[in-house]
Amino acid sequence: MPDSEQSETVQSETVQSETVRSGTVQSETVQSETVQSETGAPRVTRPDARPSPRRRAFLLGGLGAGAAGAVAGVAGGYAYRTTRPAPATEVALENAQAGLLPPVPFEGKYQAGILPQPQSQTAVIAFNATAEGRGELTDLFRTITARARFLTAGGTPPPVGIGGPPSDSGVLGPTVVPDGLTVTLGVGSTLFDDRYGLATRLPAGLRPMLPFPNDNLDPAQTGGDLVLQLSAGNQDAVMHALRDIAKHTRGGMQALWRIDGFSSPARPSGTVQRNMLGFMDGIANPDTTSQAQMDSLVWIQPNTAGEPAWTAGGSYFVVRLIRMLIEFWDRVDITEQENMIGRRRDTGYPLDATSIFATPDYVLDPEGEIVPLTAHMRLANPRTPQTADSRILRRGYNYDRGIDQVGDLDVGLVFTCFQQDIKRQFETVQTRLINEPLVDYISPFGGGYFLALPGVVDGTDYLGRALVT
């Protein structure tokens, strides 16, 4: 959720026009609020040393800082209200607890880990390639593919006789269970430098992650030539997969940063998992069962403008590591919290509705009297036809990595999303969020822009084949 550097232009332009639109329009079909809605969002202007005044000003009805400035006249319109079934996440979580998730087929036109609901456990690890030359890079892709095939299918690792140490770490027992493991591999723009002769194959929309205002990016936790996301029903299966892949690729890549994430059960049952702010996260998303929506929002198409042919079937993969300053957040009263998010904390209902999956009707609320114009949910997805193509497939996980220097909990969101075009989608959404009030409570500190490679179509294919051949 950052915003751009190039943002002078992008930012002001987009922000403004979005604002106008949100007032103007109406309906959006279906689903989603795009982005990272209730979750983590970006931050914005670093207020003065003391945030309080600004917060209060916002509460009192001012439109906070720049983000939502003007309200344009509203045209009429309507919004669809939809209800949706409880996400499959719950079922998956129950199965995961039993340790019995079935294998997820590895082969397919698209990588298998992109569309499914978040699993119980995930790890995102960025690597820099250390392979020397295109041949070794190709070996690296083949090896990752071979390990992913085995790990996602499960099976008994071969004993090596007296010829060496065991071939498997054994942390899943003598037989590797698949536990629903998915392995998603992406490439970053730095892979396309002069090392591998890939410069001419750089995807049109791939570049280093833009820092948005108020981001606090740590170079040691940002970027990478490659990224792996490993998701499964249990943490041991994720760890086992990472350990196995690392063991087989030591000479080809070196880990740069890593974060583990988890999904929470829906509480209460039948709702949606909550993030560390206590709000439900990931309520609205494009419909992954709709090929039309996936083709227009998630998958790079053979004819996507400017994209090299090899990227078809891939998807841009944005990872944002977002610390949530939950101690601060917990000292904020509930009305202010709900106004920042745009939903009720207890129920997940939009502030203007009485069901979780209802589509907020901003046309009837042009001044933001019910759902503030700066509410995260509203900025992220204004639900207008003009903003429909900026929707992203959000796949966030919570994270918990201990404590910081003042003893506060280091928890937050591993925000991940997939899309066809980062600029049109993630950056546009993120730009709308630049000055949202929520920024005081979150701190994006790392992540990267990647392109999740096209899938592996058959037993001889490997991830990255179209890129390196």
Partner 1 sequence: MSAGLLASCGGSSPPANLVSVSNAGCGTNWHAGGLGPGWHTFQIYNAATEAGEVDLIDPANGAIYAEVETIGPGTSSPMRLDLGSGSYAFRCLFEDYDPVTGPTTVIGGHARGTPAILPITNNDLLGPAKEYHAYVTVGLITLLSQANVLAADVRAANLGAARSAWLPAHLTYERLGAAYDSFGSFDEAIDGRPDGFADGVNSPQWSGFYRLEYGLWHGQSARELTPIADKLIANIRALQASWPSTEINLLDIGLRTHEILENALEFQLTGHDDYGSGTTLATTQANIAGTLELLSILHPLLAPRYAGLPAVYTWLDRLNSLLNQNKRPNGHPIPVTQLSTSSREQIDSACSQALEELAPIAAITEPRIT
Question: Distances in Å between the alpha carbon of 389 and those of 24, 30, 41, 314?
Answer: 16, 12, 19, 18
Q: Which is nearer to partner 1, 153 or 204 (by Cβ)? A: 153
User: Which of 95, 128, 169, 216 lies at the binding interface for partner 1 (CB under 8 A)?
Assistant: 128
* 196 versus 415: smaller Cβ distance to partner 1: 196
Applying CB under 8 A, which of residues 41, 68, 112, 140 lies at the interface with partner 1? 140
**Binding region for partner 1 (CB under 8 A) out of 124-132, 200-208, 305-313, 347-355:** 124-132
CB of 131 to partner 1, least distance (A): 9
| Residue 29 vs 190, nearer CB to partner 1 | 190
Question: Which of 145, 246, 237 has its CA nearest to residue 457?
Answer: 145
Q: How far is the CB of 123 from partner 1 (least distance, A)?
A: 19
Please state the length of the chain.
469
Closest CA to 241 of 309, 178, 334: 178
Give yes or no for a contact between 273 and 89, defined as CB atoms under 8 angstroms apart. Answer: yes
> Which single residue is written with the structure tokens 């998701």?
231
The least distance separating partner 1 from the CB of residue 178, rounded to whole angstroms, comes to 11
Report the nearest approach of partner 1 to the CB of residue 238 (Å): 19
Instruction: Kindly state the number of chain residues that form the binding site for partner 1, as judged by CB under 8 A.
Output: 34
Query: How, if at all, do strands 409-419 and 397-403 pair?
Result: antiparallel
Q: Which stretch binds partner 1 (CB under 8 A): 127-135, 233-241, 260-268, 414-422?
A: 127-135
Q: How far is the CB of 255 from partner 1 (least distance, A)?
A: 9
Query: Min. distance of Cβ 156 from partner 1 in angstroms?
Result: 6
Which of 33/179 has CB closer to partner 1?
A: 179
Query: How far, in Å, CA of 412 to CA of 442, rounded?
Result: 8
Let me know: does 72 contact 24? Beta carbons within 8 Å.
Answer: yes
Q: Based on CB atoms, which residue is closest to partner 1, 176 or 363?
A: 176
**Residue 429 or 453 with smaller CB distance to partner 1:** 453
Residues 156-185 touching partner 1, rule: CB under 8 A, are: 156-165, 167
Work out how close the CB of 318 gets to partner 1 at its nearest, in angstroms, rounded to a whole number. 22
Region binding partner 1 by CB under 8 A among candidate stretches 48-56, 66-74, 140-148, 205-213: 140-148
Min separation Cβ 462 and partner 1, Å: 8
Q: Choose between 358 and 468: whose C-beta lies nearer to partner 1.
A: 468
Q: How far apart are CA 375 and CA 381, in angstroms?
A: 10
- Smallest gap, in angstroms, from Cβ of residue 257 to partner 1? 11
Closest contact distance (angstroms) between CB of 91 and partner 1 is 27
Site string for partner 1, 141-160 (x = CB under 8 A): -xx-xx--xx--xxxxxxxx
Nearer to partner 1, 157 or 385 (CB): 157
Question: Interface mask (CB under 8 A) for partner 1, residues 363-402, using x and -?
Answer: ----------------------------------------
Site string for partner 1, 235-274 (x = CB under 8 A): ------------xxxxxxxx-x------------------
Question: Among residues 50 and 250, whose Cβ is nearest to partner 1?
Answer: 250
- The nearest distance, CB 206 to partner 1, in angstroms, is 19
* Backbone torsions φ then ψ of 422, nearest 5 degrees: -65, -40
Q: Which is nearer to partner 1, 55 or 147 (by Cβ)? A: 147
Choose between 38 and 225: whose C-beta lies nearer to partner 1. 225
Distance CA 380, CA 375 (A): 8
Q: Which residues bind partner 1 (CB under 8 A)?
A: 128, 130, 132, 139-140, 142-143, 145-146, 149-150, 153-165, 167, 247-254, 256
